[in-house]
Structure 1
Amino acid sequence: MKKISLLGVLLVLLGQMVFGQSNPQWIRYPAISPDGNQIVFTYKGDLFTVPSNGGEAKQLTFHEAHDYKAVWSKDGQKIAFASDRYGNFDIFIMDASGGPAERLTFHSNDEIPYDFSSDGAHVIFGAQRMDIAAHRQYPTGSQPELYQVPVKGGRVDQILTIPAEYVQSSSDGSKMIYHDKKGGENEWRKHHQSGIARDIWLYDAASNSHQMLSTFYGEDRNPVFSPDESEIYYLSEQNGSFNVFSMPLENPSSITALTQFENFPVRFLTISEDGLMSFSYDGELYTLRAGEQAQKVAVSLVTQAVSNPDNFISINGGVSEMSLSPDGKEIAFIARGEVFVTSVDGSLTKRITETPEQERFVEFSPDGQYLLYSSERDGRWQIFKAERKREEEKFFFAATLIEESPMLDLEVDAYLSKLSPDGKKLAYVENRRSVVVLDLDSKEKVTLLSPDDLFHMRDGDQYFTWSPDSKWLLATYNPTMVNGEAVLLDASGEEPFRNLTKSGYDDGSAIWVNKGKQMLWFTNRDGLRSYATSGRSERDVYTLFFDKEAWDLFNLNEDEYKLWKELQKSKESEKDSEKTKSDSKEDKVEDLKFDWEGIEDRKARLTIHSSMLGDAVLSKDGEKLFYLSRFEKGYDLWSTNLRTKETKKEISLDANFGSLTWDKDQKNLFLLSNGSISKINPESMKRESIKIRGEMTYDRQAEWAHLFDHVWQRTKGIFYTPDMHGVDWEKARVDYGKYLPHIGNNYEFAEMLSEMLGELNVSHSGARYSRSIPLPDQTASLGIFWDYGHQGDGIKITEVIPGGPLDKADLSIKAGMIIQKIDGEAVSESVDFAKLLNRKE
């Protein structure tokens, strides 16, 4: 039975959506007004208000940024909220009736509002800003601290040096209730009970003391004061799903459940002055009074998309993988999940695929006549081929008609295809944990590595590569994830695989070099490494010789090698004189021969220093190693002369990742780094950028539908088991898939995925999104601690951090001094001075 992806069904639903929404179903972050008459909430990235008894919602913000976590001022006249309009979440404030929003905070770390102070003069928020000098726990993203900023703008003050979230002040400001944050666990994980679960606390400002109110070992969060402040209401999972509970402050152990929801968690509890609570459940709004039944709030709204359904973008970078054509004139690459082909001279770029699903693992066929790639369609990975249909069109980048067809017809996942050099066999990964070879003529299939031999964690984490004679493969054998080994596979499947490294360390990613007479591979046996296998390792490039004669040549000293080269020139000259026209054809590839006796001694370390390695290749004559290494910031291109051991940095790249590949004759080295492709002359090391001039349209809603399906399918295929906490994963697909038409941006999509993955009740799960905009705020550091209690203009220094920007002998800056200006601008008490530090070096 053919698998049916949810994507098609979801696209039908999305196609039926109109701008008018009678029943919006992904309402998040509701907050009820102090008088209980209005509820502000976020839908599709904008703020709306709706009467608390239901009705038509009014849109307050109309910005492409994500606006959320709105809170009301005590008099109900203002709303503060978080928005990423400058590349990170800052605090903004606006009239509750609508209008322009004023920015209050300017730091490039996220700032999230929780409440207004009791006197209405400040907005209380959580953030990762500068701590006080006396506190030992420096704030991080998972350990934010508590601050406040004047509603009219001004200097930010610190309230608490500990993580306190969803803070609410008492009416007189003497107390605050909050839930703590002990670590970075997925906020939307459900039902877990551990030491990292949140608890409810009461803070007394007069005594500067904190009292833990909750005792449940699971999640307790989002507390609010009752109108008379004699008790609190909060959300807890102590009866299963998140529900609303009450707790008397005089007797915290006397807990009462106020709601009994089962299938979904109650989220975002707030309360009005007269005790009317609001929250969201299953993507919709509800209100509740203690002792009564919760009431659903009917919401209708009219909104418009903030962007076109078909988004047009240029493709001039963002390359994630590449494949060079056999003639060296074309490069196939993947950008933004699509297949493109560009000319090496950069004159033309052609889009090959046009799907909302992702394509990966692109390569040219050995004769250059077609492309192979994998695509995740109809709920599974499949292998496709793309061919030029007009014989007169010799290049993909200039082809007018390209036909795509499935390479295989399988009902299971199949990807990471690699054609043998003779084009007769296809190796690929089947069901994520088997390496299979298919004879394209006979259709006979053999499994070379089985699930017992391979650990799988993410798509594309298996590795293998064909030998020049198409009879063998080098692969990485890794049954436990801990340490891999480089192994040799017989493509016919007649011989068992042979372990070539046998080190007990992590060995893998072996490549054939020197016409198959030797291999290179990466190993962490010599570098710094985590013995718990939980961290990164420094690696080296090693080589192993299958041919003893090649090994002997490798071990010649410099003088011996020069003599050998002269003898070779003489022999080659004799061969050239004997050549006839019939000999001008390309030499036939010879079958590889393996000298197994003593092979364990024919290995050598090629890099002279262990480091973080990206990729490595060997020059045609085998004398020079080119490799991507990271010592300081990013990866750079290095080389080592294997005869003299001279090692040097050839090109500074500061790359996040990279890969290297030769053209067929090994005359040019092609480099992929930081999403860009360049061609390098290995003699002069001259680098020439490959200009990409591509373009594409994409449907954002269709892509979300695919990504949702991808996450669900992948989780089911490699992680989920039917007895996992009793979770019905098929039901989760339906429960959360219904929200897709109501998603407005990537933040909301990531949060919805996190809610679905949170059903599994496992750690290290969830989805995150970080928006990238041109010239975002970046707040420079002064390298000081300052006095938050300082009154008046300027920044009073309490400590100069050693080695920081102001720790200079010629400055003589000391504790107690006051910084009055930054780059000539006065540091006023009426301004968040982070504004003066943005985009400063």
Structure 2
Amino acid sequence: MKTFKVFLIGLVLSIVLFSSIFAEEARLLRFPDIHGDRIVFVYGGDLWAVSSEGGMAQRLTSFEGYEAFPKFSPDGRRIAFTAAYDGNGDVYMMPAEGGEPRRLTYRPGRGQPSGGLTLDDWVIDWFPDGKEVLFRSSRDAFPTSKLFRISSEGGFPEALKLPEAGLASFSPDGNKIAYNRKSREFRTWKRYHGGTAQDIWIYDLKTDAVERITDWKGTDNIPMWYEDKIYFTSDREHTLNLYCYDLKTKDIGKITNHKEYDVKWPGLGPGAIVYENGGDLFVLDLATEKTKKISVEVPAERILTRSTWEKVDDLIIDFSLSPSAKRGLFSARGEVFTVPEEKGEVRNLTQTPVIREIYAAWSPDGKWVAYLSERTGEYELYIRPQDGSGEEKRITYDGECYRLPPVWSPDSKKLAFSDKKLRLFYVDVDEKEPVLVDQAEVSEIYDYVWSSDSKWIAYSKNNPAYFASIHLYSLDKGKVHQITGELTDDFSPVFDPAGKYLYFISARTFSPTFSDFERTEYVYRNTRNIYLMTLQADSLSPFAPESDEEKVKEDEEKEEEEDKNKDNDKDKKKDKNKDEKKSKDIQIDFENIDQRIVGVPIKSGNYTRLAAAEDKLFYLAMPAIWEWGQSGGGQNELHMFDMKEKEEHTLISGINNYDISSKGEKIIYKSGNTYGIIDAKKGKNKVGDGKLSTSGMEMKVDPPGEWEQMFEEAWRLERDFFYDPNMHGVDWNGMKKKYGQLLPHVAHRWDLTYLIGELIGELTTSHTYVGGGKMPRSKPVNVGLLGVGFEPDKKTGFYRFKKIYKGENWEKDRRAPLTEPGVDIKEGEYLIAVNGQQVRYPANPYQYFEKTVDKQVKIKVNDKPSASDAREVTVKPVGSEYMLHYLDWVETNRKRVEEATDGRVGYIHVPNTSLWGLNEFSRSFYAQARKEGLIIDVRYNGGGMIPDMFMEHLQRKILSLWSPREGLVGRTPNVALHGHMACIINEYAGSGGDAFPYYFRELGLGPLVGTRTWGGLVGISRGLPLMDGGYVTCPEFAFINLEGEWDVENHGVDPDIEVDNRPDLVIKGDDPQLERAIQEVMKKLKEEPRTLPGRPKYPIKR
């Protein structure tokens, strides 16, 4: 059982006077609710209570799991709230004056995004009689969340009939609710006008009648029903304020007039509404409709803001190897560390816990470590002695945007680096004046390297076709030479240390791999090989033909004499040679240089990260088949090619990345969170060999300082990466000031996520996300699920298996526990016991399945509500039923189409436009391509990639027929629909789900049926990491239509035929959108039948 720290207000009051000495006025007070003279709110992740007049607040809870959405019971004696005490957001209840929380719900859903947290069950309200709690959950609903009711004493939750719902409020008599059909409260997108814009509806719990009462293109949300009025927040005048809908007159009036900050999370109590604004609490008197700010003080403890020592080896963002391979170099949580190979201590070179340093690089002479630091507010280049002693030296003074990793020249006098503005520079560490090398037109320049004489920089640069070409820059002449053409994709250049060759990777090998599923589908895999270019016109290829020849005696004697003379010369010049340069200036002959390219004799593959040492090449071999979400991490092999032996060797497998020492004798590798140093020799190396003790990477973390840094960096990243340099007209400096002034009040990492979300939300665009980071989290306790819908038999006290979901048991993530072979349980039977424990209503059956995911569980079942003659069955619960609910929904739709069209029309649902969507499309399209028609359903499509691959299949046309002697006439292409189509859309189809119907319409494939889509067509290509492992995303490109206009973003794709799946119709079992799509396709089949000719008469050829 959990041990909770609980606080009784009566005890706390006795020390209020003492505590006020150590108190401070608090802001960022979240999710308030009010009853009479008391307000409950969340601060620092815990529940607090305060007088409605303000003053000293009293803590109600103290636990590492976050609490949210507190709601007073109608009599004010209890508080229901959501808490993540076991890693899952569940409903809890506690006395209003403090006490131990009691858990009411146990079943996990798929999780509802909650501003950086994932809370499954949101407390919404109390039923007016105070006997039940209303909450929102994704547990039973695909594809949206629904409202549920549960007794305040616990028990089994029951779903309301509404097919989807957001926040809600009861009418005074409890017979109706005002509600939002959708929930967007945690979206970091202000002034949203797309398809999921919220309106207020009224639902009659007795008759199932619904009525829409607001119709604003933006946000109308969080309804609160008081007497004959419904209060809500709306952004009708730019900022979210409180408005009121009069049920008698149907008029809407504005109540508050906040201009700087939005009104957030209002909570309704008897005669008053409390709400957040700019981190403060305000109370609205409903009788006078006047509002006042209340000042709240909290004891100045702020436990989560105190400095602590923490290990940071789980936050390493880059690594490399010292020149002699005695130490590894790491950037982690904003600091630069060196870790010894075996002996010595871990060193923190920078020791600036509230300033971020990244991209550390060790100078070849071993003296210096270079890195980027944002201590000035912009990333500048610094160097400091490698042992941590001595002063840091600033190298650049012109930072204006995000910069990429510095690379030392071999003479340790210069550094090359690039930036977000597509520029490549080098800088002399003494002169400190960056020199512009080149500026790209397409994308950043990443792979820049130095020649051994430090006088040339090689790099690749993309052309408009996104093929890269190799370029060389001469420091002496300040001139760029492009040395490979536009028709090949060439990258990862690296100089031969002797200056004879330039090595690079290129995709030049084309051998198609045909699908074993569809013969017209093919891909090119393993197109890359390693090539070298001779830099001098008279240099031979290292792979030129060789021949063993017999030497005659006279030649041998002559060679011996010459050798003696050479030895004498060496002795005479020995002292002089010590002072000479080890390498001569590299001469490069550019005439016909592209004709002096030869391939390294290895098999083509998927190669990357090329490096060179004397007579050795190193490179990563990645898996040939790339899957969505797979970066090759843990699957890569490090290969070495010996130029003398002309042989390839595998040095180590199962790694993510690597670096080599200056002479190529040692290697540092990364595999997950394991780092090690090994010899660069052929042999049987494995992950774990030479493991470095990174656990010694510790630092003292200053949370408030770190939070301020991450806020600043998030602001800066959006400034540098956002596709519109004008920031959509937003005063971006002003936004930093507006939300930055709240930073001193951050008491929990989630507060920072909230602030950053508010900041980036001001850009009024999709795909601005924030999440992750080092948040206090409770240890998760999983709950096993059987893939069933329980129904309590209240008369007998047993639970009935009302519905058993079918899966695809041949796939692990689609397994349905009760339909697996040997599990003989039928719908209508009863659950009697779980692992020997009797299960009886009103106990929640899911509480018996804690810690059972993927474990064998013995349950007793019976075909009657009795323990007598019950049989025992062993089952293996799953951790989520989401996929089972999805499959059930899709199969229901498919059968409905099949029955309505006598099998003439097929049905495909596309859940997203990434791997899952591609797989579902392929499973269904090929099997139904010879039907007369097809309905493509992209409702609830979660996006992913641009869906041009889907369109290539859907737009195929039959080009010819082929007649065999027996069997059906064939087609070319073999898989193509020669029929009519319709596409169903709704407000939950977004991003790639916006692009899908847009392209469908552009190609003239058929009508769009449904409602306007989400409206999010800007794109992100990467998550930008923050110091503590959190991230922000930034839209780096935006959609333009072929008329040259910005399109779709913040509006969506309009349907050709608008059909809303009204709640009252869906409750009856209807799907008006699907039904209309069926009608449209069948109408087309009747009016414009599409047939292909049959086999003609065989020819007579004499």
Which residue of 456, 471, 478 maps to 1:488?
471
Conserved? CA contact 2:437–2:478, under 8 Å: no
Map 1:85-104; keep pairs closer than 5 Å.
85-104=85-104
Tell me which residue corresponds to 2:254: 257
Match of 2:594? 599
Superposition deviation, residue 721 in structure 1? 6.8
Distance of 1:419 and 1:440 partners within structure 2: 10
Cα distance, 1:312 vs structure 2: 0.8
Q: How does 1:239-278 map to 2 (within 5 A)?
A: 239-249=237-247, 252=250, 254-273=251-270, 275-278=271-274
Task: Tell me the alpha carbon deviations over residues 648-693 of structure 1, each in whole angstroms, 9 at most, x when there is no partner.
Answer: 995346xxxx321123343433212323312345422233311122
* 1:407 counterpart letter in structure 2: I
Match of 1:13 in 2: none
Residue in 1 that maps onto 2:53: 53
Q: Which residue of 1 aligns with 2:534?
A: 547
Alignment check: 8 A CA contact 2:371 2:383 kept: yes
Which of 853, 856, 873 is equivalent to 1:840? 853
Aligned pairs for 1:425-464 (under 5 A) are 425-429=414-418, 432-440=421-429, 445-450=434-439, 453=441, 455=443, 462-464=446-448
> Does the C-alpha gap of structure 1 residues 664 and 286 become closer, same or farther in structure 2, counting only changes over 3 Å?
same
Distance 2:598 2:138 in 1: 50
Corresponding residue number in structure 2 for 1:28: 30
Residues 354, 818 of structure 1: alpha-carbon distance in 2 compared, 3 angstrom cutoff = farther
- Answer with 753-762 or 309-318: which moved more: 309-318
Q: Which moves more between the two structures, 57-66 or 815-824?
A: 815-824
How big is the shift at 1:187?
Answer: 1.9
2:297 to 279, 296, 300: 300
Q: CA deviation at 1:614?
A: 7.5
Asked whether the 8 Å contact 2:617–2:641 carries over to 1, the reply is yes
Aligned with residue 454 of structure 2, among 461, 467, 470: 470
Separation in structure 1 between the aligned mates of residue 542 and residue 847 of structure 2, nearest angstrom? 63
Q: How does 1:438-587 map to 2 (within 5 A)?
A: 438-440=427-429, 445-450=434-439, 453=441, 455=443, 462-478=446-462, 483=466, 485-492=468-475, 494-498=478-482, 500=484, 502-503=486-487, 508-512=491-495, 517-521=501-505, 541-547=528-534, 553=542, 582=574
Moved more, 402-411 or 279-288: 402-411
Residue 591 of structure 1 deviates from its aligned partner by 1.6
Structure 1 match to 2:990: none
What are the Cα deviations for residues 63-100 of structure 1, in whole angstroms up to 9, with x where unaligned?
34332221122222211222333334333221111122
| 1:72/1:647 CA distance change after superposition, 3 Å | farther
Q: Distance in 2 between matches of 1:762 and 1:176?
A: 31
- Superposition pairs for residues 5-20 of structure 1, below 5 Å? 20=22
Report what 1:3 is aligned to.
Answer: none
The Cα shift of 1:237 comes to 0.7
Counterpart of 1:350 in structure 2 is 347
1:218 CA displacement = 0.6
Preserved contact between residue 437 and residue 491 of structure 1 (Cα < 8 Å)? no
Rounded Cα–Cα distance in structure 1 between residues aligned with 2:162 and 2:218: 24
| Contact 1:625–1:641 (CA under 8 A) maintained in structure 2 | yes
Please, which runs of 5 or more residues in structure 2 have no aligned partner?
Answer: 1-18, 112-118, 514-523, 550-555, 810-814, 855-1102
Aligned residue for 1:688, secondary structure, equals: coil
Aligned partners of 1:725 and 1:623: how far apart in 2? 48
Maintained 8 Å contact 2:757/2:769? yes
How far apart in 2 are the matches of 1:339 and 1:19? 41
* Residues 772-816 of structure 1 deviation map (CA, whole Å, 9 limit, x = unaligned): 678832636646242456664457252231221524323345544
- Are positions 1:221 and 2:224 aligned together? no
Residue 309 of structure 2 corresponds to residue 312 of structure 1: yes
1:113 partnered with 2:110: no
The CA distance in 1 between the partners of 2:786 and 2:651, in whole Å, is 32
Match of 2:755 among 752, 755, 759: 752
Q: Which residue in 2 is equivalent to 1:637?
A: 636
2: distance between equivalents of 1:522 and 1:151? 66
Pick from 621, 627, 633 the counterpart of residue 621 of structure 2: 627
Whether the aligned pair in 1 keeps the contact of 2:498 and 2:583 (CA below 8 Å) is no
Is the 2:506–2:529 contact (alpha carbons within 8 Å) kept by the matching residues of 1?
Answer: yes
1:13-61 Cα deviation digits (max 9, x unpaired): xxxx99844532222211112xx32211122222222222333322212
- 8 Å CA contact 2:442–2:466 kept in 1: the answer is no
1:831 and 2:844 aligned: yes
Larger radius of gyration: 2
Contact 1:107 1:778 in 2 (8 A): no
> How far apart in 2 are the matches of 1:594 and 1:99?
82
Q: How far apart are residue 743 of structure 1 and its match?
A: 0.6
Amino acid in structure 2 at the alignment position of 1:660 = Y
Match of 1:531 in 2: none
Tell me, yes or no, if the aligned pair for 1:86 and 1:777 is still in contact at 8 Å: yes
Kindly tell me: are residues 765 and 626 of structure 1, through their superposed partners in 2, closer, same or farther at Cα, counting changes over 3 Å?
closer
SS at match of 2:290: coil
- Whose relative contact order is higher, 1 or 2, with alpha carbons under 8 Å and at least 6 apart? 1
1:809 equivalent in structure 2: 821
Counterpart of 2:159? 158
Cα 1:28/1:664, change in 2 over 3 Å? same
Residue of structure 2 equivalent to 1:135: none
Counterpart CA distance in 2 for 1:454 and 1:38 is 59
Question: Residue 426 of structure 2: SS of its match in structure 1?
Answer: strand
Distance 1:57 1:839, change over 3 A: same
Q: Give the whole-Å Cα distance in 2 for the aligned partners of 1:128 and 1:475.
A: 50
Say whether the 8 Å CA contact 2:415–2:428 is kept in structure 1.
Answer: yes
Cα distance in 1 for residues equivalent to 2:770 and 2:663: 44
**87-96 vs 544-553, which deviates more?**
544-553
Q: 1:636 is aligned with what amino acid?
A: Q
For the 8 Å contact 1:522–1:539, the answer to whether it is kept is no
Separation in 2 of the partners of 1:631 and 1:818?
46
What's the C-alpha RMSD, in Å, of the aligned pairs?
Answer: 4.1
Distance across 1 between alignment mates of 2:362 and 2:639? 30
Partner of 1:14: none
Paired residues in the alignment total 768
Question: 1 or 2, which has the higher helix percentage?
Answer: 2
1:424 and 2:426 correspond: no
Checking the alignment, whether the CA contact within 8 Å between 1:541 and 1:605 is kept in structure 2 is no
Q: CA, structure 1 residues 446+71, in 2 after alignment: closer, same or farther (shift >3 Å)?
A: same
For the residue of structure 1 that corresponds to 2:479, the secondary structure is coil
Alignment of 1:59-98 (within 5 A): 59-98=59-98
- TM-superposed deviation, 1:764: 1.6
* Contact 1:518/1:543 (8 A) holds in 2: no
Normalising by structure 1, report the TM-score.
0.80
In the alignment, the residues of structure 2 paired with residue 162 and residue 538 of structure 1 have an alpha-carbon distance, to the nearest angstrom, of 46
By how many angstroms is 1:762 displaced? 2.0
Q: Decide which of 267, 280, 288 is 1:284's aligned counterpart.
A: 280
CA contact (8 A) 1:318 1:674 kept: no
Change (3 A) 1:314 1:445: closer
Residues 616 and 627, structure 1, Cα contact 8 Å, conserved in 2: no
Relative to structure 1, the CA distance from residue 211 to residue 550 in structure 2 (aligned partners, 3 Å threshold; closer, same or farther) is: farther
Gaps of 5+ in 1: 1-16, 132-137, 389-395, 529-536, 565-569
Identity of aligned residues (%): 23
Would the alpha carbon gap of residues 762 and 344 (structure 1) be closer, same or farther in structure 2, given more than 3 Å must change?
same
Instruction: Call closer, same or farther: CA 1:165–1:443 in 2, change over 3 Å.
Output: closer
* Structure 1 range deviating more: 370-379 or 664-673: 664-673
Report the CA distance between 1:381 and its aligned residue: 0.9
